[in-house]
Amino acid sequence: MGLEFLVRVRKSSLWASLVVALLIARYVRPIDGWAVALGVLWSLANLSLIERLVVALTGPGRRDPAGVRRTLQAAAGMTALFGLGAVLLATLPAQSLLWGFLIPLVVIVLKAASLLLLGSRGWKRFARDPRRVAGLLVILGLAAWAAAPLWVGAQEHGASSPSPGATHAAASSGGEHGENEGPQKFTNFVTLLARAFPDAPWAHFLHEFEVLIFSLLVALLLVVVAWRASRDPRLIPGPFQNAVEYLVETLNDFIVGILGPVHGPRYVPFLGSLFVYILAMNLFGLIPFMDSPTSSLNVTVALALVVFVYSQYIGIRGLGVIGYLDHLAGNPRTAISWGLVPLMLPIHIMGELAKPISLSCRLFGNVFGEDMLLVAFVTLGITSVSFLHSPIGLPLQLPFLFLALLTSTLQALVFTVLSTIYFLLMLPHDDHGHEGEEQHAH
């Protein structure tokens, strides 16, 4: 067993801690789930520092100044880590934190035992016949199937007689459930923090500005992607740069194809960024413990208002104040059209005011509906545990994840196309303008 064994231990410990932390946060308390997760991270950091210390003490350059410096750094890191462990023990549930400390150790023992078992002659002789291995898997599956009713019964018995801690937690969270009546979305990491630390002011702050936090997080990720793609441009781009350039080129051709070669390039940065931002926000909720900001009406209304204000600015800037009012009046040129101005002007004003409403409500309704559909099928898959006596739920939501990928892309495209058309309607679009665009294209 070498250093690659420790790498496999770290990966397995992270996955095991994720499952255990989720189960404890769901069936015990959220703060206990956080304690398990932090305990695992502390233990893995300790293992990493021990590994560095051993390498520094036994390596070929252990007596060199660089080797001595690495040894001192590892020792100082372990000292600071033990101080952090004392703080965690003082602030988090000690029992749950201890479970987190022990998970990497249990993984090491199980992996070492599995290596000894798989390398033994008895296992090789047993696994030589595939029917024996298949029979063993069937026996383990039947054992889990038979143990599922006992587990469900124990959970129902525990739920019927709640502990004082659970009663206190339910009482402290009763106001929250009372305030948030109605359909609930998937729990994200901000909600978990708010439930784990119900009395912390910073947790209330995060929960209050949850949508804004996820919106800024998506924007930050897009900035990092753009910076990474443009940091070192090459004449022969790599896969990442090639994908970003292909996206930019496709959006440029699409928007210029609607607005024309004269006005199109000017608005490609805004409309292209709008499409990418909305698409990223739509898809962000499919990541575990994240949320789609566009499933909140606050975000979609803000986006629609930005498009509305910008389109009005384009109209006033391109047509002038008189031309803008003439556009709203329906471009009257005859006596009959001037007589219809009192009718056409309110209709055009109401049409302009309806644009941000339609944009925001369409995007919000579709994304929020996707989330509720996934929640409904996840809940249905979980309830299958009780009547199928299965150790795990059915992944009924899996087909709808692919549907959400399609609809999220379509909704971002619809929002961008409608915004582009609103810009086109505000730009000068007389016959001479179109002829100029065609001459410019040729």
State if pTM tops 0.75: no
Q: Which helix (H) or strand (E) holds 250?
A: helix 239-284
Of 23-27, 273-277, 349-353, 377-381, give the range with the top mean pLDDT: 273-277
Distance CA 346, CA 348 (A): 5
pLDDT at 271: 95
Q: How confident is the model at residue 163 (pLDDT cuts 50, 70, 90)?
A: very low
Picking from 414, 311, 423, the residue whose alpha carbon sits closest to that of residue 367 is 414
pLDDT average, residue stretch 365-375? 89
Cα distance between residue 375 and residue 361, in whole Å:
21
Residue 46: predicted pLDDT = 82
Q: Which pair of tokens denotes residue 295?
A: 């499933």
| Alpha-carbon dihedral sign for residues 17, 225, 311, 309 | positive
The pLDDT of residue 165 is above 80: no
> Confidence class of residue 231 from pLDDT cuts 50, 70 and 90?
confident
Residue type, 350: M
Looking at residues 200-223, what average pLDDT do you find? 90
Region 198-224: mean pLDDT is: 89
| pLDDT band for position 39 (cuts 50, 70, 90) | confident
Q: Domain limits of the chain?
A: 3-128, 215-441
Residues 265-315 pLDDT 10s: 999 999 999 999 999 999 998 888 889 999 999 999 999 999 999 999 998
Q: Diameter of the chain by CA atoms?
A: 101
**Quick check: 418 pLDDT over 80?**
yes
**What is the Cα–Cα distance from 155 to 144, expressed in whole angstroms?**
16
Residue matched to tokens 């201890």: 98
Comparing C-alpha atoms, which of 255, 270, 252, 349 is closest to residue 307?
270
Q: For residue 387, what pLDDT is reported?
A: 67
Whether 98 has a pLDDT exceeding 70, the answer reads: yes
Q: What is the pLDDT of residues 71-92, one digit of tens each?
A: 888 888 888 888 888 888 888 8
Residue whose C-alpha is closest to residue 187's, from 399, 398, 392, 22: 22
Q: Which of 318, 313, 311 is nearest to 262 (CA)?
A: 318
User: Lowest-pLDDT range, 47-56, 57-66, 153-162, 323-332?
Assistant: 153-162
**Residue 328: alpha-carbon gap to chain centroid:** 42
What length does the chain have?
442
pLDDT bracket for residue 140 (50, 70, 90): confident
Distance CA 7, CA 9 (A): 5
